[in-house]
Amino acid sequence: MKRFVETGVLTLGRTESGVQPLLGVYPRSMLPVLQGLLAARCLRMKSLLDRVPCETVLLGNGGRAADNINFPAEYNALLQEENLF
């Protein structure tokens, strides 16, 4: 993790279904870019990716780290699976 923070490069998790922008390391050095995009009401992730260097990291275990869990029953079902993490 420290390596990703020190590079100043946006690092995002990636699964078989694509890039997962919520699972990322956003360096502080990109804050002026983010502020400019927000001020211009340019809210698409692609707008950010077009302006800053970005790397992706393949998430293991079939991308299960990006599973959407909204209810306790979904969480409990995941806990019952073997080799979840």
Phi-psi region for residue 40, left (φ > 0), alpha (ψ -120 to 50) or beta? alpha
pLDDT value of residue 11? 92
pLDDT value of residue 55? 93
Beta bridge partners of 55: 11
* Mean pLDDT per 10-residue segment, the chain (85 residues): 72 88 90 96 95 90 72 86 62
pTM of the model: 0.69
pLDDT value of residue 16? 82
Measured distance CA(29)–CA(10) in Å, rounded: 10
pLDDT value of residue 18? 86
pLDDT value of residue 2? 65
